[in-house]
Amino acid sequence: MPSIRSLLSYQYKKRTRHTKHVPAHGRLQNMLPPEALYKKHTVQVRTCQDRPVYYMDFQKAQDMPCILYFHGGSFTKGLRKKDWKLLSALLKGTGCPIAVLDYPLVPEHTHRSILSYCLEVYDTLSSQCPHGLLLMGDSAGASIAMAVAQAAVRERLSMPSSVLLLCPFLDATGGNPVKNVLAPRDPVLDLEKGREASLLYAGSLPLEDPLVSPVFGSMKGLPRIYVWTGDNDILYADALLLKDKLREAHIPYHIYVYPSMTHNWMYENLPESRTAVRQIIREVRNLADFPIR
């Protein structure tokens, strides 16, 4: 049974859908680590391909597993205030060092330069994290996380310890009929806008190419996959399709399905948000072989 707060939030989203104006790539002040993060953690800014990568608490990297985080935003938006809020909770709850990418965005870039940047950061981090590297991403960032994991298998790079996907966007084709069923219930995402962003991201590639739609790529050789999804999210359809693909490839997985939750509910201030964040922290600590707090 969804909480009263989440039901009220759902109705508010339905009434105010697509009425907010946000600058093309998001708000610059939200893309930078907040001052509070610097006060509680060690934050270093390094560069890759002339773009920043934020390293948080990496003085622990020789002793603990690391997390590489890919933000969402339909490939068009940069880091958001809610990303830093979640990352702060993960730093506190898991104790693991976290690297955050500020990857290139569409329409100025396509999948080619975006994945090139992300793979280079991943390859560099792999050698700096002897206790393992976990990939985590939400929405479009989850698409990139899966594409990076598949590229690691394909190019015989060091493998991530696990991949954690939050409301993942894995099928850019728009051809899954389940999405048409879910669309009237989803107060957050729009199928047509998602397709427009996907075409920009794909560049010259067809939308069904695994670099654009990782759910159609090979699952063989991937590590354990964790997914958090809500059944009022259009992308619930992607999670169901991924589940079938992982089962066929005999890849271990666990999918958390939250009834009545919308896209990226774990970033909100709901009882279900706090439950999901606790689960994410617990799974990371289990993967890191730490005792549960």
Helix axes of 191-202 and 111-128: crossing angle, nearest 10 degrees = 80
pLDDT at 254: 97
- pLDDT at site 19: 53
pLDDT at 25: 74
β-bridge partners, 47? 52
C-alpha to C-alpha distance for 221 and 154, rounded to whole angstroms: 9
Residue with tokens 């933000």: 71
Residues whose CB falls within 8 Å of the CB of residue 280, separated by 6 or more in sequence, listed in order:
90, 164, 166, 228, 266
- The C-alpha angle with vertex 96 and arms to 94 and 100, in degrees rounded to 5, equals 115
- Phi and psi at 107, nearest 5°, equal -90, -5
| Domains, the chain, with CATH or none | 4-12+35-287 (3.40.50.1820)
pLDDT, position 134? 98
Please name the residue ranges forming H helices in 169-287.
Answer: 177-182, 191-202, 236-248, 271-287
Chunk the chain into consecutive blocks of 10 residues (it has 293) and report each block's average pLDDT, rounded to whole numbers.
Answer: 72 64 65 91 94 96 96 95 96 97 95 97 95 97 98 96 98 93 94 94 97 98 98 98 98 97 96 97 86 39
253 close to 282: Cβ distance less than 8 angstroms: no
Burial class (CB in 10 A: 0-12, 13-18, 19+), 263: buried
- C-alpha span between 55 and 68 (Å, rounded): 9
Collect contacts of 266-271 with beta carbons under 8 A, ≥24 apart: 266/86, 266/166, 266/167, 266/228, 267/82, 267/83, 267/85, 267/86, 267/138, 268/9, 269/5, 270/3, 270/5, 270/6, 270/9, 271/3, 271/5, 271/6
Show the DSSP H helices in the chain as ranges: 4-15, 28-31, 35-40, 81-94, 111-128, 140-154, 177-182, 191-202, 236-248, 271-287
Query: Which pTM value belongs to this model?
Result: 0.93
